[in-house]
Amino acid sequence: MERTHIKNLKTKVGETVIVKGFVHAIRDQGGIKFLLIRDVTGIIQVVVLKSESEAFELVKELTLESVVSIEGRVKEEKQAPDGFELQALKISILSKADPELPIPVVIEKGGEEPEVTKRFDWRWIDLRRSERQEIFKIWTELEAGFRDYYEKNGFFQIYAPSFMSSPSESGADVFEVNYFDRKAYLAQSPQFYKQMAMAAGFEKVFMTGPVFRAEPSFTTRHMTEFTGWDFEISYIDSHYDVMKVEEELIISGFNRLNEKLDLGLEIPVIPFPKVSMAEAKEMLKQAGIEGERELDLSPEEERELSRIVKEKYNHDFIFVTAYPSAVRPFYHMRDDSAESLTKSFDLLYKGIEITTGAQREHRFDVLERQAMEKGMDLASIREYLDFFKYGCPPHGGVGIGPGRLIMKLLELPSVKEATFLPRDVKRLKP
């Protein structure tokens, strides 16, 4: 007999089925025993009668979080959760759990949540909770919505290496590793490889992959390794073309979440509000907020600017454009009317930056000059510069931090809560 998922039992009333899952709860009432069994789709109440002697005796051996297979008959029962239950005929223990759980899966009424560090130490047990699994259902459907857009609009998927022969921007904030007879670096970004795809004539690419940042940051928004979602497109007229694609991409993702998970998300209106960095600073100044960073936004300023935009435009997203070249990478294209500014942007969502994007500089001589202005060793990036030496279309793209996006979607306290196995300065396991 094939296994039936718990969510499908309502269509099996009167039938004999097999369910498999974790023992969520055990209740002994003498001549009758109740189990709650949990699988990835839900929880079912199982009744074990004394008349089924073998199954009844086996319940005495069960511990919370043991994995079992139960053959039984689905019955209507008004007092049971969802109005039906499973009457056990046969129980098999597939894996018996140690009775001393390091952290609870079920938090009793009035009980306290384990401290977050301990939860991450025992992450695979922490992830058994349905509210944790919901986070990764959202990851799955959001990415599927993005992929829907990419498929409909002719994007290639590419897979970039994590090992780089030189840092993508500078020697700071990178992980250096031994690579046989030389040094290598874990990629801060797939940026160079996306641009190589543009030079190869792919025109539209997207990718999902790990990003590494050796930043000694201890905030709710930073990790040393995270998943990045990137795209790059060719033959653009400006960075506004890139922003338009990202708007449509996000709406595709949000629509998918509403369709598959019924989240009831408010679909953002296109176009998203856009302000230059100078305009953002002026808006903040009028609100009485002056950050320490003259050319960039502090986390406090990002939160306040998002509040102002929500109040003024009723929008959760805002593009901040025209960042000064002093705080942007050498490969960001400079503004034609103001050399000190770049054709770049950040996208804020509910008070946090979730995207950095730009039109890239595709002209070999200009790119070389801008790298020298940043004090970069041209020899160390020669292979990258060669991408542009033999013709390359004008192009631009973004790097998205989906963990931050999901963190704000669900109002989680930290991006680590939105991450399967978070890595930070102190954490390297499990």
pLDDT, mean over the chain: 95
Please report the pLDDT score of residue 16 as a whole number: 98
Distances in Å between the Cα of 401 and the Cα atoms of 230, 349, 404 are 9, 11, 6
Q: Which two tokens stand for residue 53?
A: 């002697």
Please report the pLDDT score of residue 37 as a whole number: 98
At 162, is the pLDDT very low, low, confident or very high (cuts 50, 70, 90)? very high
At 191, is the pLDDT very low, low, confident or very high (cuts 50, 70, 90)? very high
- Render pLDDT for 292-319 as a digit per residue (tens, 0 to 9): 888 999 999 999 999 999 999 999 999 9
Strands 352-359, 344-349: pairing is antiparallel
- Render pLDDT for 193-239 as a digit per residue (tens, 0 to 9): 999 999 999 999 999 999 999 989 899 999 999 999 999 999 999 99
Cα torsion 86, 92, 94, 100 to 10°: value is: 80
At 111, is the pLDDT very low, low, confident or very high (cuts 50, 70, 90)? confident
CA distance 312 to 80: 49
Domains of the chain: which residue ranges?
6-95, 130-418
**How many C-beta atoms surround the C-beta of residue 243 within 10 A?**
21
At 12, is the pLDDT very low, low, confident or very high (cuts 50, 70, 90)? very high
Of 350, 346, 355, 354, the closest CA to residue 303 belongs to: 350
CATH class of the domain defined by 6-95: mainly beta
Q: What is the mean pLDDT of residues 35-49?
A: 97
Binding residues for L-aspartate: 169, 213, 356, 360
- Render pLDDT for 323-374 as a digit per residue (tens, 0 to 9): 999 999 999 999 988 889 999 999 999 999 999 999 999 999 999 999 999 9
pLDDT above 70: residue 172: no
At 168, is the pLDDT very low, low, confident or very high (cuts 50, 70, 90)? low
% of residues, the chain, pLDDT over 90? 90
Main-chain dihedrals φ then ψ at residue 28, nearest 5 degrees: -105, 120
- 119 touches 126 (CB < 8 A): yes
- Render pLDDT for 265-290 as a digit per residue (tens, 0 to 9): 999 999 999 999 999 999 999 999 98
pLDDT above 80: residue 169: no
% of residues, the chain, pLDDT over 70? 99
Binding residues for ATP: 213-215, 353, 401-404
Coil/strand/helix, residue 264: coil
pLDDT above 90: residue 125: yes
- 346 touches 323 (CB < 8 A): yes
As its CATH architecture, domain 130-418 has 2-Layer Sandwich (3.30)
Please report the pLDDT score of residue 170 as a whole number: 55
Please report the pLDDT score of residue 167 as a whole number: 75
Of 329, 370, 323, 362, the closest CA to residue 343 belongs to: 323
- Render pLDDT for 54-71 as a digit per residue (tens, 0 to 9): 999 999 999 999 999 999
